[in-house]
Chain A
Amino acid sequence: MLYERVISLFARLEHYPICCGLLGSWLIAELICVAIMPSVLDNNWYLSHYQSETSRQSLERFFTTQSNSIPDPHCGWRNAPDRDLGRWRTDASGARQPSFHRKGPGKAGVLFLGSSMTNGGMGVSNDETISAYLEQQSGLPAYNHGTMLHALDQSLLLYEKALVHMDVKYVVVGLDPNTHLRLTNIYIPFSRREEVHLPFLKPRFVLREKDQLECISLPVKQLREHTFSAETWRILEKHDSFYARFQRYKHLGFSPIGHSINRLQRRLRNLQRRLFPAIRNELLYALLQRFRSAARQRGAKLIFLVYPAQSDFGQHALSFVAPDAYGLRLEALETIGLHTINCRRALADCLRPGSRFHADGNHFTRESNRVIAAHLVKAIQQFSSAGAEFPSEKKNCRSTAAVPAAP
């Protein structure tokens, strides 16, 4: 019966020769792309196709210091010093300072570390960042060393190794919504292939026995050749948790059906991550503890700004079924005794939904930066013993105090 049905199916196929040619050729091509090519071609061949032309141009500019980032032996990359793009400027140390910045006497400053959310990004001017508003509202000198796409481990290395001479009273670290994911990433394009402007290598920490942290760092200069050595591939395979994405690209990225399957799988994994967020992360906690120790050794107080994503405001379709990942994350941080600022509550209380994030959906508007700065000032006041330490006090988001006008 089944045999007859198969025969009749094949008999009907003779009326569809074009379809047969199309499907047959397609299946053969899919097989070649999925199974044969990965076993014949090496990783570097796939890497050359994985990287876009824009990525290669970004790397070229990175190594010829034409980019907004420069190579750094400790944390992979840093802000380029003395860059002036109009709204986005850096000083000689690579910090993004407001026009009214003045260095304070002795140990009086606030150091900002983190990613572009701390840095402010291209959407706000130097006078509209969190650090600028803090300086304006409190009078404390602020040093914005937020760096594009930096993860927590890079901020830690920047603080420990590159800014070792910076003597400040407060260290403010921005924690991005997906910071825990990036801690296990080494080659940025593996986790964010669309990130064509910063396709760099970053160091990562590995948690060993007795909570010891070991830093794994790959030589940055091999990015210039656009190929990796066998040793680098071995390290990436072992220590970059996003290496599996590159493997999937090798097998599924060269054929339409494979690509569609890969995309579907990725969406399902994102959905799973949204519905079942990983809250407990030992590596993250170990890094946070190390940060706290490092700040304590230098006599500085550590404050974490816990940044929300747009979806954390409960406006997403999944918000009815997904757990409150932001709340769980914040709670976990507070239980280990860290000083945190609930940026989500601050923004939700003070701003309408449409005015919190830029059109890119990731970076804060200047209004959001102002609100966060106001809450940070309050937190800093709690640390200080006397309120007279600050030239001016800001109450809350409803204050009518002037903010620097946008240039």
Chain B
Amino acid sequence: MNFVSLAFILFFLAVFVIYWQLSRPRQNLFLLFASYVFYGWWDWRFLSLILTSTAIDFYSGRRMDRSENPSTRRFWLSLSIGANLLILGYFKYSGFFISNLVMGLNHLGCSLRSNELNIILPVGISFYTFQSMSYSIDIYRRELKPCRSFLDFATFVAFFPQLVAGPIVRAKEFLFQLESKRSFQSSRFEAGMWSFILGLFKKAFIADLLAIHIVDPVFAEPALYSSAAMWLALFSYSIQIYCDFSGYSQMAIGCAAMLGFSLPENFRFPYLATSFSGFWRCWHMTMSRFFRDYVFIPLGGSRQGTARTYSNLLLTALISGLWHGANWTFVLWGWIHGLGNVWGSFRRCADPGVPNRPGWWRWLTGWFVTQLVVLLAWVVFRATDITHAGVMYHRLFILQSGSDLVVTGAVVWAIPAFLVEHACGAFVARRPYTLSPFSRVLLGACCAAMIFVVFHTRPETLTPFIYFQF
């Protein structure tokens, strides 16, 4: 069920109305039922998978907490993490590893053939397995007590607004919300509604228009287009992926807010960042903190010398790249960002006298270099394989003639709309209820205008969210 569909609007309306008529225990049960209906809408066969993962983690968490023996606790933690990684590895990476293994062995002289496995990737598997693992790890670290109710835990894992594409929610920031009484608040409801509609506008208007009219045609056949068209497509893709993903996150946060829950923020204007570390503090924030807390810091973080810090940064970035998909392009993308983080770390060590608020020149250079590398790294992220990325880089850096893009109609407004959203978002997006009543009425009028714009520019077929494929 795509968020940008009439089916989801009707589904959510029904859930919202019924939900607020129920008492808390029944609310959680109803949420669980609704979440499974939502997930089963994609493919009912994978409901058993999410239920299995939930059961293993719930049981492991309880056994871990009961035991004081470190090896027993490690055993249950390993079981939980192992089960989740096994599920993730099988569905997401088995084809990739097998084909690369066969290719490697063929290079060594063996003649093997790999048949395509055709394994369907369950939607949201990367997200809910990570959520479950964070629960087990927090229990192991004694940062969290295990959930007493299987129902509450299952609802936490399957909570439909953030199930398929995040934000990746920690158990300790969500479980207590499930266990406490929730009352309907008009301010929270309106903030959620604003967030949902803004996210819908970013996805359905900005991201989809850029995708259909600029990005997809050029990236499908880059050899046909000129260098100028290639740069425009790349720039548009950077806007598309931001609006697509942040739009989804906002819609998820908005839905959760309308149901009385608070989800963590996932984006904070990453294209204003002046360093790679700054970028990753603003882009997919919940995933960044997951990798920081559960990969980078356990590896030693930055406390074991410079060389080790650099290798930890690189390794963490590589893993986060691989998390995005089973393709060498994602590994390369992660590697580029890893190098960027290493460079940033090196500069901080080399020039410790840099003030916290650098001068405008330093700010500008830092911003320009960071954003340029981020922009160029999107090429590998979007490419189907390394060769495809190579063709695109060639067209970007070697001036080529070819077809130019003629941008007409509503697409012309997509990029200015993004700029306006970015400029105004800081004032309005997070705290609409602090504005005056008249300003809020105007905000409502903006919502209506955005809905009409989305309605009039909607494509004939729905485009899926980019991060659904992860």
Contacts and interface: CB of A to CB of B under 8 A. Distances in A.
B461 to A, nearest CB: 12
B451 interface: yes
B442 A21 contact: yes
B455 A22 contact: no
B447 A18 contact: yes
Interface string A206-236: 0000000000000000000000000000000
B444 A21 contact: yes
A25 B448 CA distance: 6
A20 B443 CA distance: 10
Given A15-B186, A17-B437, A22 B452 contact: no
Nearest to B443: A18
B445 A25 contact: yes
B455 A21 contact: no
Interface in A256-286: 256, 259-260
Contact of A21 (B6, B189, B445, B452): B445
DSSP majority for the B interface? Answer: helix
Contacts of A310: none
A10 interface: no
B190 interface: yes
B448 A17 contact: no
Contacts of A23: 444, 448
A45 interface: no
A50 to B, nearest CB: 13
Nearest to A14: B437
B441 interface: yes
Nearest to A260: B6
Contacts of B62: none
B423 interface: no
B454 to A, nearest CB: 9
A21 B440 contact: yes
Given A23-B444, A25-B444, A25-B445, A18 B194 contact: yes
B452 A17 contact: no
Given A29-B452, A256-B452, A22 B437 contact: no
Given A22-B448, A24-B441, A29-B448, 9 more contacts: A17-B190, A17-B437, A17-B438, A18-B194, A19-B190, A20-B441, A21-B448, A22-B447, A25-B445
Nearest to A254: B456
Interface string A165-209: 000000000000000000000000000000000000000000000
Interface string B155-195: 00000000000000000000000000000001101100110
B18 interface: no
A259 B440 CA distance: 27
A22 B193 CA distance: 10
A100 interface: no
Interface in B310-359: none
Interface in A1-33: 14-26, 29
* Main SS class of interface, A: helix
B260 interface: no
Interface residues of A, number: 19
Interface of A: 14-26, 29, 254-256, 259-260
Chain A CB within 10 Å, residue with most, of B437, B440, B446, B448: B448
Contacts of A259: 455
A145 B193 CA distance: 57
Contacts, number: 63
Interface in B224-256: none
Interface of B: 6, 186-187, 189-190, 193-194, 432, 437-438, 440-449, 451-452, 455-456
A15 B188 CA distance: 11
Contact of B193 (A19, A26, A254, A255): A19
Contacts of B449: 25
Task: Give the 9 A-B CB pairs with smallest separation, nearest first.
Answer: A21-B444, A25-B448, A21-B441, A22-B444, A17-B440, A25-B445, A15-B186, A18-B190, A18-B444
Nearest to B451: A256
B442 A16 contact: no
Contacts of A16: 186, 189-190
A257 B434 CA distance: 31
A14 B456 CA distance: 30
Contacts of B187: 15
Contacts of B451: 26, 256
17 contacts: A17-B190, A17-B437, A17-B440, A17-B441, A18-B190, A18-B440, A18-B443, A19-B193, A21-B446, A21-B448, A22-B444, A23-B444, A24-B444, A24-B445, A26-B451, A255-B452, A256-B451
Contact of B447 (A21, A254, A256): A21
A21 B186 CA distance: 14
A256 B449 CA distance: 11
A17 B444 contact: yes
A21 B438 CA distance: 9
B185 to A, nearest CB: 9
A25 B449 CA distance: 8
A266 B241 CA distance: 36
Nearest to A49: B456
A263 to B, nearest CB: 9
A22 B437 CA distance: 13
Contacts of A15: 186-187
Contacts of A24: 441, 444-445
A375 B306 CA distance: 83
Contacts of A260: 6
A29 B437 CA distance: 21
Contacts of B455: 255-256, 259
A22 B444 CA distance: 4
B438 to A, nearest CB: 8
A26 B437 contact: no
Nearest to A22: B444
A15 B456 CA distance: 30
A23 B451 CA distance: 11
A103 B415 CA distance: 61
Contacts of A21: 440-448
Contacts of B441: 17-18, 20-21, 24
Contact of B445 (A14, A22, A254, A255): A22
A20 B186 contact: no
